[in-house]
Structure 1
Amino acid sequence: MTPREFDQLVEECMEIIPPRFRRQLSNLVFLVEPEPREPGLLGLYEGRPRTERTSGHAFSMPDRITIYQGPHERLAHGDAELRQLVEETIWHEVAHYFGLDEQQVLRAERRRRQRLRRLRGL
């Protein structure tokens, strides 16, 4: 997949963020990079979570969520799995933006997958 195609995929996958949360995203940029500095990363949130912000935060540099193309493509077996993996990564990093630590994010992801399975009747 070309970098431009992957950028488009990430943009499409951002729809995974429910509107009620999307409206709360502020002073945040999403970036796509080919590879992480640390092996094993699919995405990275860098910044100050919303739960720790003060009124002066609006005047600071934006927080960043970086999605890494290479690891996603190596892990995915096909386009559908790539899309799902990118959606999950976006969801995971946005959860960090909203102040969840790694353990809380993992628990929330398990609950979310269980709800999706129930909705799909699996």
Structure 2
Amino acid sequence: MYRMTDEEFEAAIEAAIDAMPQQFLDALQNVAIVWEEEPNAYHLGYDEDEWDTEEPLDDANENDGDEASGAETCEEAEGESLPDDLLGLFDGLSLVERAGSYDDDIPDVITVFKGPHERCFDSREEIVEEVGKTIIHELGHYFGLTEEQLAAMGYE
């Protein structure tokens, strides 16, 4: 497991955004891209009363809760089953779902999770690459792509 400083992780996110084609960036409307250390109950699709916040997230932590939609996990990135290792999440309405009646007061949010990236990947280079893939995956959900479509494009 490789640990990044917060500044390194922020730089990886900025580099991923800077590497995006301008046409995609121009198409983003009211979308915030943020990062958090770990996913919380909301991100993982749990009700607050179902979630034990005292239990640390690690490779051995198993649960059967539904993951939030628009999420990429280590399982998808690595082919292993690590259900609490949510790499990223799109929380909002895709462009397809907006269809004319969208109130853009609150931005849609793409969240990238630092801890799971560190647990899933063994080097700085791998983390930086996967942060980029995670952002593209979540932007795919913003543009209305399904998990199957993203997988077909190589962004599982």
Q: TM-score range by the shorter chain?
A: 0.7 to 0.9
Partner of 2:117: 72
Distance 2:92 2:86 in 1: 17
Q: What is the one-letter code of the residue matched to 1:17?
A: M
**RMSD across aligned positions (CA):** 1.6
Q: Structure 1 regions of 5+ residues with no counterpart?
A: 111-122
2:147 matches 1:98: no
Q: Displacement of 1:5 after TM fit? A: 2.4
Unaligned ranges ≥5, structure 2: 45-83
CA contact (8 A) 1:16 1:91 kept: no
2:36 alignment counterpart: 33
Segments ≥4 residues shifted beyond 6 Å: none
Indicate yes or no: 2:13 matched with 1:10: yes
Structure 2 distance, partners of 1:103, 1:48, is 18
1:49-74 Cα offsets, whole Å, 9 max, x none, are 01121444253311000000001111
Q: TM-score, normalised by structure 1?
A: 0.81
Q: Percent identity?
A: 37
Structure 1 segment 36-55 matched on structure 2, within 5 A: 36-37=39-40, 38=44, 39-55=84-100
- Number of aligned residue pairs: 110
Residues 76 and 99 of structure 1: CA distance in aligned 2, closer, same or farther (over 3 Å):
same
Higher helix share: 1
Where does residue 133 of structure 2 map in the other structure?
88
Match of 1:21, SS?
Answer: helix
Distance 1:86 1:102 in 2: 17
Indicate conservation of the 8 Å contact 1:43/1:89, yes or no: yes
